[in-house]
Amino acid sequence: MTDHPALPSPSAEQTCDDRPTALSPLESGRRFGIRDGLFQAVAQGGGEHYLSAFALLLSATPFQLSILSAIPQLLGTWAQLISVKVSHWFPSQASQVYWGILGQSVSWIPILVLPLLWPEHGPWLLIGGVAIYFTCSHFTSPAWNSFITELLDPNERGAYFARRSRVVAITSLLMLCLAGALLSLCETRDLLWIGFTICFLTAGLSRSASAFLLRTITISPHQAPRCNPTGFLDFLRTGVSHNFRHFLLFSGLMHAAVLIAGPFFVLYLIQDLHLAHWQYGTWVAAGILGQFLTLPSWGQFGDRFGNKALLTFTGLLVAFLPMLYLFSSAWLFLVTVNFFGGVVWAGLGLGLNNYVFDAVQPRDRAKAVAVSSIVNAVGWTIGTIAGSLLITAIPNRLQVGTFTLEPVSNLPLIFFLSGLLRLIVSATLLRTFHEPRQVEQRTHRRLLWELPMLKSLRQFSRRPTSSN
């Protein structure tokens, strides 16, 4: 594995006059990270979020929906292992990221064109195109994460990634709403495929813009790799701590529990509840809005009290979210639930990502990111396949004595089971690993009032009222 780019020395930024100086590689890299997030959000909000809806247009089955969710992620994550192994082939980490982003841009063409040319095989062709897209996406991940984290102080990573995620969230929200409105308009005129064409081409062009932006950044080349680089198996046996191994187990099993339900929300909302595309888009947008409003607070919480504390609260809260779908199918209720889902997932996502950076040595971060992604992808695959099998096994009606529960379909029962498994994973595994950084210590009861929204509520209740 190659070393990270060398940070600029102070003399590199000094000039003999008062003219504005060029941005250092450190600052230009940080700014690229934020701007890349913006362009990535365009592809996510206007493209990735509607891949399942496009699959439904192609008459995809529940099994094909689960494969669409699982296989591209699994194949893409293996690309991270390859990415680390071949990193020395590239003159710099920027070059490696550039080719991965360019591949993402080009892959939107087969995603769109092949299913429309051969609709009888449309779902499988879509799965193939999406697999290429996520393979290219994951190929960039180790180099990108290694580069960015090297530019950040350990105690500011949470704030930086929260700021980037907030940019991603608000941009993705705007694109999600625009794409949903466009698809609903096209649907009323029986031209839904034109709407998807516009959305997916926009997603591809946005990734091209990100690749072009990366070409303008000056980043130091790789140094020569170490003579005896550690392999992945050796890394897992001797290069990681007891904490990190238990964290990987928690993360992988949590992904498995989550993905039992994850791919089938779109099926429940569009096919079972017959929501319009704009209603589905609003439901997704509510989750993004929840992320946007709370990401800075979650980042500050993780920097101050540690990512383990962040995982403890969000890992328990995320268990109850899918259970709520069993109690009502009212659209406004579901939108509200997904808003709070966005709040919780904002913290859980930050905690899962940043714990990896803290738990290993800087030279091993790229490998740690790749190994973590592999574990998550295995859990992702197991969960989605298990969910697709449960659809055919669980009845639509549940009766216990005189109590009868008969939802619109059996999917809310599967969502409830997913939440129960999440609760079991969190209750049993969160206690098996600890915070690797030195952070401020608080009891869980006091930490509760530092959580986003609760902290704002406490500050508001303590605010003195002005008298006339």
Which two three-digit tokens encode residue 79?
Answer: 């690309």
- State the pLDDT confidence band at 249, using cuts at 50, 70 and 90: very high
Residue 250 has pLDDT above 90, yes or no: yes
Mean per-residue pLDDT, 274-298 = 85
Beta bridge partners of 168: none
Confidence grade of residue 59 (pLDDT, cut at 50, 70, 90): confident
Asked whether residue 15 carries a pLDDT value surpassing 50, the answer given is no
Between 101-110, 176-185, 293-302, 452-461, the lowest mean confidence (pLDDT) is in 452-461
**What pLDDT score does 70 carry?**
74
Which has more confidence, 401 or 6?
401
| Domain 25-222+231-457 fold | Growth Hormone; Chain: A; (1.20.1250)
Q: How far apart are CA 90 and CA 156, in angstroms?
A: 29
Model confidence over 302-354: pLDDT tens digits? Answer: 888 888 999 999 999 999 999 999 999 999 999 999 999 999 998 999 899 88
Residue 154 reports pLDDT greater than 80: no
Q: Rounded to the nearest 5 degrees, what angle is found at the Cα of 64, between the Cα atoms of 63 and 66?
A: 65
pLDDT mean over 10-31:
52
Least confident range of 8-17, 62-71, 309-318: 8-17
Longest dimension (CA), the chain: 86
CA distance 368 to 140: 14
Which amino acid makes up residue 136?
C
* Distant-in-sequence, close-in-space partners of 44: CB < 8 Å, separation ≥ 6: 168, 172, 175
The answer to pTM > 0.75 is no
Residue 75 pLDDT level (bands cut at 50, 70, 90): confident
Kindly tell me the sign of the dihedral angle through the C-alpha atoms of 165, 166, 167, 169.
positive
**For residues 402-426, average pLDDT:** 89
| φ and ψ of 295, to 5 deg | -55, -45
